[in-house]
Chain A
Amino acid sequence: MNFSFTTDQQNIRDAILKHCSQFSPEYWLERDRDGVFPFEFSKSMADAGWLGVAMPETVGGAGLGITEAAIMMQAVAEAGGAMTAASSIHGPVFSMQPVSLFGTEEQKQRMIPPVLRGEDRICFAVTEPNIGLDTTKLKTRAEKREGGYLVNGEKIWISVAQNANKMMLLARTTPLENVKRKTDGLSLFFTDLDRTKIDVKLIHKMGRHAVDSNMLFINDLWIPEADRIGAEGDGFKIILHGLNPERILLGAEAIGIGRAAIQRAAQYARERIVFDRPIGMNQGIQHPLAKCWAQLEAANLMVMKAATLFDKGEDCGVEANAGKYLAAEFAFEACHTAMLTLGGMGYAQEYHVERLLREVLIPRTAPVSPHMILNFLAEKVLGLPKSY
């Protein structure tokens, strides 16, 4: 049991916090107001080689693990950019894993380096409007033709699609009626986001306005066979490999946001004088903040444990789910507590806490809801009957 950072990990955290200090809280508030993708930030991260943190060296990455990626993404969120900063580089940092693990050598060399250099921008299209969390039922259809696939269907919540030129797409290649197991018959593609065949409609949402989420209407999109990742029908299995790392990263990011909120609140509580003394002298202000700190750091241990297990090649499903759940719930409480600590100013945009509160709701609900995590833990850890 070792609870300390390695030299590398400490240096990654420090270097990221420093790098991100180029982008002030006001920069992130401006992007939230004008809704413009943080191009300057994502380019600076590409130029400094950070996007390849967890990609193999053979495709231009650093060859580090999910632990290092989690430490990096946590610092990115914690530095003030919250989910906007994290989501703007989530694709390149994380979503190319299927290609690196299951792609051919030709695909790896063709697809990954331009993403790490920031030249190709990607979105990850799984969720559909009519099936929700029941992913194996997804309906977007990729019909096999000579040399490729013809794709039709609808996707929802697809982040970055307004600005992406590439798309990772999960679609059904064999109808549900014709497969033995419901996890069969889905295939994964990494292909051009062809706007002549895909209508991208912005969803107006509560926060993270600079990183768009969208409805996708796909109409006769042609995908060449060379863009299919892994064997036909193996798409779901491939996606499963990424679920735990994704939970780990989201959990780490949530904790970063919670820490940022608590820091802001503690500073305000030290400085704000009411009834002739700092409000932070009242235990009614101190205790909730101290409790949030303890909760966040405990959640962080679970997230880092999951990351460590994953990098060792061990099972981490329970830890990754529990870590994401704890991180998101406690980070939400931290942001809410911070907002109340700031009184009226907690509701004012220029104090940044309300933005953190709006953005911390994303890791709370996505990519998997707290309900589904608890369903999973009840079944896997407690041996209760499967409820879904």
Chain B
Amino acid sequence: MKVLVSVKRVVDYNVRIQIKPDGSGVVTDGVKHSMNPFDEIAMEEAVRLKEKGKVTEIIAVTLGGAKGEETLRTALAFGADRAIHVKEEGEIQPLTAARALAAIFKKEGAQILFTGKQAIDDDANQTAQMTAALLDLPQATFASKVELDGTKAQVTREIDAGLETLEVDLPAVISADLRLNEPRYLKLPDIMKAKKKTIEAVSFADLGVEAAASLKTIKTTPPPTRSKGVMVKTVDELVSALKAKGLV
């Protein structure tokens, strides 16, 4: 079984995000980037399934500029067999990403697309769902457990009310939530092996994909700074304070 894993290069989760002075976005120049943590979890899941003999080939895919190669090398070190780099500079909207992933999924004849549930840069949480819709495939998002059984996958999902278990026919799209697994620490020999694996570069044109331009970012602003809180001594005081503010 061939699976596709999408991995995105994002500003590292440890970085204190700063807004550009002109409000056109966040500062990314000279800022540490790494693989989106949810994509790492998706990658880890694919590798574990391969180690269990359920998956035969893992293809990592990224979309974006030249630096995306770093992220793909990391994916290859995790255990992807080969990688595809959709090399396009500039902003890529979720619908564009979904179109590209759908095109690659079809071309490769993959059985599962694993993604992170969202990327921590814009937290859109749309790509997995849109790709499933474009491919007209079942989707199981926010997975905290995945079990493959021939032509089906049992997926436990994290939902507001707790956990929900779905059975989906393959091929399908599965997005990883935080508790699906704990990604491994990379080993140096695996990083070295990754250097010898191939990364195929393709463009939107090669895939026959048109970039979507349905979203326009008007302005980026920092969240309002919190004003100083009020200390209350008793529950009664808390309730009346909340009432006074019209919050309960």
Contacts and interface: CB of A to CB of B under 8 A. Distances in A.
A and B associate in one complex? yes
Interface of A: 7-8, 10-12, 14-15, 18-19, 22, 47-50, 52-53, 62-63
Given A7-B73, A11-B77, A62 B186 contact: no
Interface of B: 34, 69-70, 73-74, 77, 185-192, 195
A50 B188 contact: yes
A62 B195 CA distance: 12
Contacts of B195: 8
A10 B185 contact: no
Given A18-B186, A19-B186, A10 B191 contact: no
Contact of A11 (B70, B185, B189): B70
A8 B74 CA distance: 9
Contacts of B191: 8, 11-12, 15, 62
Contacts of B192: 62-63
Given A7-B69, A62-B192, A14 B185 contact: no
B149 to A, nearest CB: 33
Q: A-side binding surface: helix, strand, loop or mixed?
A: helix
A222 B88 CA distance: 66
A15 B191 CA distance: 9
Which label, helix, strand, loop or mixed, suits the secondary structure of the B interface? helix
Nearest to B35: A14
A14 B34 contact: yes
Contacts of A63: 192
A62 B189 contact: yes
Contacts of A12: 188, 191
B70 A15 contact: no
A17 B192 CA distance: 18
A50 B188 CA distance: 5
Contacts of A50: 187-188
A12 B69 CA distance: 14
Contacts of B73: 7-8, 11
Contacts of B74: 11, 14-15
Given A11-B186, A12-B188, A18-B185, 11 more contacts: A8-B191, A11-B77, A14-B74, A15-B77, A15-B185, A49-B187, A62-B188, A62-B189, A62-B191, A62-B192, A63-B192
B129 to A, nearest CB: 29
B189 A49 contact: yes
A15 B73 CA distance: 12
A126 B210 CA distance: 67
B167 to A, nearest CB: 35
Interface centre among B73, B190, B192 (most CB of A within 10 A): B192
